Chains A and B, each alone.
Chain A
């Protein structure tokens, strides 16, 4: 999509709205991706911190 003329924003980024509320669900504790997720969550790490270790 082309940029409409007259569109401006600070640093070319404009926040328009937030996301709708999330649903709390239970993920199944299986598989390598879950175990990675559990590790991050237990140690309060982010994706990039996790990759560095």
Chain B
């Protein structure tokens, strides 16, 4: 009935939400009437809904209920399928699916053989169809909660999702009755979740988004300039995530079990599945408290098993995995040709980011001025699991009113490919024979752009020269005096990721700005003593500039323009 009404007019009112669709779990979020992003819980009360579907006697189970079926009904349970969408069978890694329905080749796509009807004969269901069913359930949960038919969404995807994957996701969503308004990148959604808060202010900053998921981890460096985002570099690890930490817990308990009972529960498929499920719960509990227990009924050979582990022990055992997480962060900063000193903010996103030690270790890499946004390091941090969904909800509320054509035109490369400044533009100061440089427009700012800043003038006033220059930042390394304060605690083990650790511990490193090339000189005459001058620089896409300088409070400004070269 509802379908017929919706089909009759294409102009039905849109009602959009934000969806984060992950391999491990998915979330749905909307903007509340008060303008705040909130993540919607499904009918089971879960905000992180496992991306799992399971079938028993033709009945479909979803989320946490389906996840529980990984033990008893693993062959009819489909999990970790997001990354298979729109992919060729040969190019996928089937490892995460060892404990559930196995992916198979069907024509050019990936499929699963499951008994999803009451009949005994199994059906082959494509990954697109599985995705459609999953999104239909997410849509239903959101619709039930909001009391209004949800028919559109902004969905988050990894930065390296190919066009084929994007198309497949849009098609699968459409089949579920959800119009995809836009697919946005996960790290950008995370930054937006922070920037869209009412108390946030738009600033120029460099942000590292560390998205540590269940089965994969992605890190991105994003330049935020005047509220616009440009991804400078990304790094991916498809074998690192919460599951790597679960494995540490599993191995720990399995060894303890073997000492007592001489059998390895990991060699029994059902025993392993139980350990996986309960181990994950234990690992999550360790993110919140210093002690956690694990108890499994009839783990293997009918033996009940119960034990506890404390956080210190877990952190000790996980040292190697933690080093991989921090290594990925260092790798991406290097890839962006930046230094850790350049980074203003590190946003932790994804489920594994709840682990307190990861954020603490990452904080040690960065200078104290860098804001580390994780629950264990900042009280204002948002739940890492909710960031992507919140960002998507925010974007959904922005584009909801637009025509599909409008959105398509706006996200076209004609619009998004933009010249960015290669060097910072700023003002040079000379005092006591020393020149210094203060950046006004940072490198990697998308053009056109305009910035205004105020600078103090010499105390005595008089005529002032404003020199607008291009500048570059250098890392100045100074050998400290013997009793310099230490930058890092000496707790590193022999990780091969921080190879330049040794020098870093000895030297004090700081950012210094150097003038590279003068652009223009302006004179402001007769400035009153103690007053300030305001400098406005506007850069056109063709690299033409307009510069205006005036005394604060003064009425006349000195202006000039430079024609663009490119």
Chain A residues with a Cβ under 8 A of chain B = 1-4, 7, 9, 11-35, 37-39, 41-42, 46-47
Q: Which residues of A contact B303 (CB under 8 A)?
A: none
Q: Taking the complex as formed, is B227 at the interface, i.e. its CB lies under 8 A from any CB of chain A?
A: yes
Q: Size range of the interface on B?
A: 35 or more
- Decide: B229 and A28 in contact? CB cutoff 8 A: yes
Q: B197 in the interface, Cβ–Cβ < 8 Å?
A: no
CB-defined A-B contacts under 8 Å, sample of 6? A3-B523, A24-B418, A28-B416, A31-B228, A32-B398, A47-B448
Instruction: Say yes or no: is B28 at the interface (Cβ < 8 Å to chain A).
Output: no
- In the bound assembly, the distance between CA atoms of A4 and B18 in angstroms comes to 58
Q: Are A1 and B458 in contact (CB under 8 A)?
A: yes
Bound complex: CA A48 to CA B535 (Å):
18
Closest Cβ–Cβ distance, residue A2 to chain B (whole Å): 5
A22 to B418, CA, bound (A): 9
Assess whether A19 is in contact with B415, with CB atoms less than 8 Å apart.
no
Q: Is the CB of A17 within 8 A of B517?
A: yes
Please, which residues of chain A bring their CB within 8 A of the CB of B419?
22-25
B477 within 8 Å of A by Cβ? no
A23 to B465, CA, bound (A): 30
Instruction: Specify the chain B residue showing the minimal Cβ separation from A32.
Output: B398
On whether A19 and B543 interact (CB within 8 A), knowing A9-B523, A30-B192, A41-B415, the answer reads: yes
Comparing B1-9, B353-361, B426-434, B489-497, the segment that makes contact with chain A is B426-434
Taking a contact as CB atoms under 8 Å apart, the answer to whether A28 and B231 are in contact is yes
Interface of B is mostly: strand
B559 touches A28 (CB 8 A): no
How distant is B451 from chain A, measured CB to nearest CB, in Å? 12
A13-B517 contact given A27-B230, A28-B185, CB 8 Å threshold: no
Q: Which residue of A lies closest to B467 (CB)?
A: A1
Contacts of B466 in A (CB 8 A): 1
CA distance A50 to B470 in the complex (A): 29
Bound-state CA distance A14–B565 (Å) is: 17
A26 engages B230 (CB within 8 Å): yes
- CB pair A20–B422 under 8 Å, yes or no, is yes
Interface centre among B420, B523, B547 (most CB of A within 10 A): B523
Could you list 17 further interchain pairs (A-B, Cβ under 8 angstroms) beyond the known A22-B422, A24-B418?
A1-B430, A2-B463, A7-B465, A15-B520, A17-B519, A18-B562, A19-B425, A20-B422, A24-B419, A25-B446, A26-B416, A28-B184, A28-B185, A28-B222, A28-B416, A29-B416, A32-B227
Docked Cα-Cα span, A34 to B227, in Å, equals 7
**Distance from A4 Cβ to chain B, minimum over Cβ atoms (Å):** 7
Tell me which residues from 407 to 445 in chain B have a Cβ below 8 Å from any Cβ of chain A: 409-411, 413-423, 425, 428-431, 444
**B450 on the A face (CB < 8 A):** yes
Q: Once the chains bind, are B562 and A15 in contact (CB under 8 Å)? A: yes
The reply to whether A28 and B450 contact each other, CB–CB distance below 8 Å, is no
Option from A4, A18, A32 in Cβ contact (under 8 Å) with B543: A18
Q: Judge whether A1 and B519 touch: CB under 8 Å.
A: no
A18 near B565 with CB under 8 A, answer yes
Closest approach, in angstroms, between the C-beta of A42 and any C-beta of chain B? Answer: 6
User: When each residue 488-529 of chain B gets 1 if its CB lies under 8 Å from chain A and 0 otherwise, what string results?
Assistant: 000000000000000000000000000001111111110000
Q: Are B195 and A31 in contact (CB under 8 A)?
A: yes
Q: Tell whether A37 pairs with B409 under 8 Å between CB atoms, given A12-B522, A19-B421.
A: no
Chain B nearest CB, measured from A36 CB (Å): 9
Which chain B residues in 179-195 approach chain A with CB under 8 Å? Answer: 182, 184-185, 188-189, 192, 195
**Interchain CB contact under 8 A, B395 and A26:** no
Chain B residue nearest to A12 in the complex (CB)? B523
Chain B residues near A29 (CB-CB < 8 A): 182, 184, 410-411, 415-416
Q: In the complex, A18→B231 CA distance in Å?
A: 26
Q: Verify B418–A27 contact, CB threshold 8 A.
A: yes
Give which listed residue, B202, B415, B418, B428, contacts A33 with CB less than 8 A: B202
A28 to B230, CA, bound (A): 6
- Please tell me if the beta carbons of A28 and B188 are within 8 angstroms of each other in the complex: yes
Identity of the chain A residue whose Cβ is nearest the Cβ of B159 in the assembled complex: A28
| Contact of A26 with B525 in the complex, beta carbons under 8 Å | no
CB–CB A35/B418 < 8 A: no
Nearest Cβ in chain A — how far from B190, in angstroms? 11
Complex partner residue of B228 from A3, A12, A37, CB under 8 angstroms: A37
A26 CA to B188 CA, complexed, in Å: 13
Identify which of A4, A19, A30, A46 contacts B188 (C-beta below 8 A): A30
Indicate if the CB atoms of B465 and A2 lie closer than 8 Å.
yes
The 5 closest A-B pairs by CB, nearest first: A33-B227, A13-B560, A22-B419, A3-B463, A38-B410
Residues of B within 8 A of A16 (CB): 518-521
Query: Measured between alpha carbons, how far is A14 from B522 in the docked complex, in Å?
Result: 6
Contact partners of A42 in chain B: CB under 8 A: 409-410, 415
Contacting A20 at CB < 8 Å: which of B230, B463, B470, B524? B470
CB <8 Å contact, A21 and B422 = yes
* B542-566 with Cβ < 8 A to chain A: 543, 545, 547, 558-560, 562, 564-566
Which residues of chain A are within 8 angstroms of B539 by Cβ–Cβ distance?
Answer: 19
Q: Once the chains bind, are A26 and B417 in contact (CB under 8 Å)?
A: yes
Q: How far is the CA of A33 from the CA of B306 in the complex (A)?
A: 54
Chain B residues in 8 Å Cβ range of A19 = 421, 423, 425, 470, 519, 539, 543, 545, 565
